[in-house]
Each structure stands twice: as C-alpha cells, then as structure tokens.
C-alpha cells in the first residue's frame, strides 16, 4: 500500500520497502555466486600448456664404426663415423640448423654443444634401414697454445688428438622436431688415433 508524503510524493509502505530490499539483496547475492562460479570455471578449465613428449632414445639405434683425424689448413678435424639404424616405420631426415644440435658429453657428466661440427644434413635414413653417417668436428690448435706447424710432427699430433678425445665422453644428436635423442657412445676410447 502506498501513502502520500507531506510534499505530495508517493511513498512505498514499510512492508513494500522491505520486500524491495530483500529482492535487491537476493539479486546481488545471486549475481555474486554466478560470477564466482564463472571465474572458477574459467580458471579451472583454462587450456594449460601440454607437457612436451619425452625424448625418444629408441627410434634410432647406433653403432660406432670408425674415427679418423686429419690436419686441414689450420684446424685438426676429428671425424666420427656411426652406423645409424632407423627402427621406425617412416623415413628419417637427419636434422640440421635450428632443428637439431650435436652435443658432446663432458667428463663431469654434462653436455656441451659442438661449436664446429658438420654432417650431411640432407641424409635420409629409410625406415628399418641402416646408414653410415660422418660427424666432422674441428678443433683450432691455437685455443690450446699450439701452432699448426707443431702438429706436423706425428707424435705431437697424436698426443693433441688424444687429449681432445679424452675431453669427449660420447656424442648426442638432439632432434627438436621429432624429439629424438640419438646417443653415440665413446667406443673410440680403445682406439689409437690415426692421421690421414
């Protein structure tokens, strides 16, 4: 029921005022609950980044085949040869550039990128086949206070290469696209380095 005030304006009865306050409070509480539920649903079901798949260490099997050394220009080249067997059902392109990296194991158990390593980056290993691959690494003797002419003497050359090989505890090729880790053991430790 409405009443008329002294200024002529209509006023709601106290009973109706309480009713409107109750409606407003109910609407506000309902809105707050819906808002909380929407925010929590958004947070809970927000797409989270998927974890990367683990490195596949079994797709490509490896067997050491040979190691050669050579003094070319001002650098010593150590060439590691491995037979890589593709155990998958699809052909495998050996990665290059930003798709992969060749790392060497260091004696303390870590890995370090080979700064001067090359390999045939267009080489395809057919499914279920084996291909021989060369990884050519170069070492600048001046980094070890040696001159190229010092290494012309066979004993010094063999000693220099022997020291460099002791710094390498295996090789690993990481293929970022396929998430393959190709571990190549240091089977050359039993060999005596031979110059070409």
- Residues in contact with 1: Cβ distance below 8 Å, sequence separation at least 6, in sequence order: 13, 15, 16
pLDDT over 70 (residue 10) = no
Least confident of 29-38, 47-56, 78-87: 29-38
DSSP per residue over 78-112, as a string?
A: EEEEEEEEE-SSS-EEPP-GGGEEEEEE-TTS-EE
Return the number of other C-beta atoms located less than 10 Å from residue 170's C-beta. 17
Whole-angstrom CA distances from 53 to 20, 41, 181 are 59, 27, 12
pLDDT at 95: 93
Predicted confidence band of residue 8 (pLDDT cuts 50, 70, 90): low
Residue range 43-54: average pLDDT? 77
Selection from 78, 59, 82 nearest residue 69 by Cα: 78
pTM: 0.72
Express each pLDDT in 118-164 by its tens digit: 999 889 999 999 999 999 999 999 999 999 998 999 999 999 999 99
């Amino acid at each position: 029921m409405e009443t008329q005030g002294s200024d002529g304006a209509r006023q709601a009865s106290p009973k109706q005022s309480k009713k409107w306050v109750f409606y407003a409070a109910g609407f506000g509480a309902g809105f707050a609950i819906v808002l909380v539920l929407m925010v929590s649903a958004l947070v809970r079901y927000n797409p989270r980044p998927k974890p990367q798949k683990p490195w596949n260490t079994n797709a490509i099997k490896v067997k050491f085949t040979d190691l050669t050394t050579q003094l070319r220009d001002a650098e010593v080249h150590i060439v590691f040869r491995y037979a890589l067997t593709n155990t998958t059902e699809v052909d495998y392109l050996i990665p290059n550039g930003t798709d992969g990296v060749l790392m060497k194991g260091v004696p303390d158990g870590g890995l370090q990128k080979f700064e001067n390593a090359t390999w045939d980056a267009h080489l395809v290993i057919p499914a279920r086949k084996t291909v021989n691959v060369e990884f050519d690494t170069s070492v600048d003797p001046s980094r070890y206070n040696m001159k190229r002419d010092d290494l012309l003497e066979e004993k010094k050359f063999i000693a220099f290469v022997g020291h460099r090989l002791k710094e390498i505890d295996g090789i690993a090729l990481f293929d970022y696209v396929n998430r393959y880790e190709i571990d190549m053991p240091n089977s050359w430790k039993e060999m005596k380095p031979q110059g070409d």
